[in-house]
Amino acid sequence: MQILHGRPVADKVLAEVKAGVAALKQKTGVEPTLAVILVGEDPASQIYVRNKKRAADEVGIASRDFLFPQGCTQAELLDTIRRINADPALHGILLQLPLPKGMDEDQAVAAIAPQKDADGLHPMSLGNLLGGKPTAVPCTPAGCIEILDHYGIPIEGAEAVMVGRSRLVGKPLAQLLLARNATVTMCHTRTRDLAAHCRRADILCVAAGKPRVITGDMIKEGAVVIDVGVNRLDTGKLAGDVDFESASQRARAITPVPGGVGPMTIAMLMKNTLLAATRQLGAA
């Protein structure tokens, strides 16, 4: 059984981005810059933002903070997004989600200029993915494909089963697998026999947000398992959506939690930011 570690894959992507950033700077004299918007004081969001900014710094992408206190209005947020959209010195926009309760996330994401959409969650980015001509691809699903490719796991023709259908992970990951010619089944809470679908999977991707909802008996012998889930247990430990112990008895390869898909998300955000800057600077 092979453990599909994400760190070496993320490091490879980050090294490529770093080289791309250096080349872009040399060609245009411009430093690619990411606008980082954080609303409120959610500790987890603060940690995510700090890690993203650190990664940006390491690959040579500058970041500019736009911090709003809890209780800022939707209008204030939208106004800032519009100002960033209009600023040619800012190439990518990271809007840290979730926004505080009561704010309209969909409206805020849709206000981002599509060409500056670093997270790939703008309706136009998602539409382009669906249309087969992706521009910015959502970071976590893109990272899952990067892991499969890095470890030489064939996608074409595979039975791929996606558990979860969120806009953030499940739907875009299913589209990416389909675009690579997998036969894709999508499962969710209304799926009648989840285990039966999972047992058909050559590639089983799980983003349900429920600790250990997938157990070894639901996995085909020799399957590849991508566990996107990150769940904090009462014990304080992190667990995936897949029960690693029993799954590893059946799978031929599996991503660990933590250390699997997790590191990929930030790396793909950096890649999206570089791509956005490259396009805006006409250097593609």
Backbone torsion region of residue 117, taken as left when φ is above 0, otherwise alpha when ψ lies between -120 and 50, otherwise beta: beta
- Shortest Å distance, C-beta 146 to ligand NAP: 12
Binding letters toward ligand NAP, positions 131-170, x by CB under 6 A: ---------x----------------------xxxx-xxx
Contact 163, 208 (CB under 8 A): yes
Q: What share of the chain is helix, strand, coil (3-state, %, to 5)?
A: 45, 15, 40
Stretch that binds ligand NAP, among 36-44, 88-96, 129-137, 261-269 (CB under 6 A): 261-269
Cβ 25 to ligand NAP, closest distance in Å? 28
Query: Is residue 261 close enough to count as binding ligand NAP by CB under 6 A?
Result: yes
Which of these, 114, 223, 214, 218, lies nearest to 164 by C-alpha position?
214
- 189 binds ligand NAP per the rule CB under 6 A: yes
Please tell me the count of residues contacting ligand NAP according to CB under 6 A.
Answer: 26
Of 220, 259, 215, 257, give the one whose Cα is nearest residue 240.
Answer: 257
Q: Tell me which DSSP letter residue 191 carries.
A: -
Residue 52 annotated among the catalytic residues of the structure: yes
* 228 counts as binding ligand NAP under rule CB under 6 A: yes
- Token pair recorded at residue 284: 């593609």
Determine which one of 96, 115, 175, 280 is catalytic. 96
CA distance 116 to 129: 16
Is 96 marked active-site?
yes
Interface residue with ligand NAP, options 118, 207, 239, 277 (CB under 6 A): 207
Residue for token digits 């039966």?
Answer: 196
What is d(CA 142, CA 126) in angstroms, rounded to the nearest whole number? 12
Catalytic residue from among 119, 202, 227, 243? 119
230 binds ligand NAP (CB under 6 A): yes
Query: Which residues are designated catalytic?
Result: 52, 96, 119
Q: Which residues bind ligand NAP (CB under 6 A)?
A: 140, 163-166, 168-170, 187-191, 194, 207-210, 213, 228-231, 261-262, 265
